Structure 1
Amino acid sequence: MPYLSLSDELALRERILERLAHLCDQSGGTVTRVQLANFEIDGERLPLIDQGRGIRNPRDFRATLSILSKPDGQYDDRQVDQGYYLYAY
């Protein structure tokens, strides 16, 4: 299956983050793992996490989608380009 175009992927990522911000606002700042695993956008299910992991690699995306991240975590994760991160997992 081909990847989304870069512009379509960026637009989808922005909609995902907007929806997450809305969920956070509704719940007082917390989104559960169940909500992330059952996330829907544009009427379609798009899990934002893999069970037991924080890194998600949607098949249509060119790059990893990470919703769970910990700045002071055990891995050497870092931003390598504007909006792109290297995950040392």
Structure 2
Amino acid sequence: MLRGGVLLTAVLAIAVAIALSSIFIVDEREKALVLQFGQIKQVKTEPGLGFKIPVIQEVVRYDGRILSLDTPEIEITPSDDRR
């Protein structure tokens, strides 16, 4: 009976470890990509819980506070029209 209890405890511990490794949290200041074999499978932009397949998928996080600004090019010439 003791051997069955140890086996059950080991199986439960492995199941809990797999369940916990399949959950990830996206903070409100970041964005996350779920990659499966290097290809994007999901883009998570909203904060909260996300789920992934533990061994097959990985999560890459990016800071959402980084701003990129593309401005049009403006040519500026001095008042004496020199370049």
TM-score range, shorter chain: under 0.3
More helix by share: 1
Which one has the bigger strand percentage? 2
Query: Using CA pairs below 8 Å that are at least 6 residues apart, which structure has the higher relative contact order?
Result: 2
TM-score (norm 1): 0.23
Q: Which has the larger radius of gyration?
A: 2
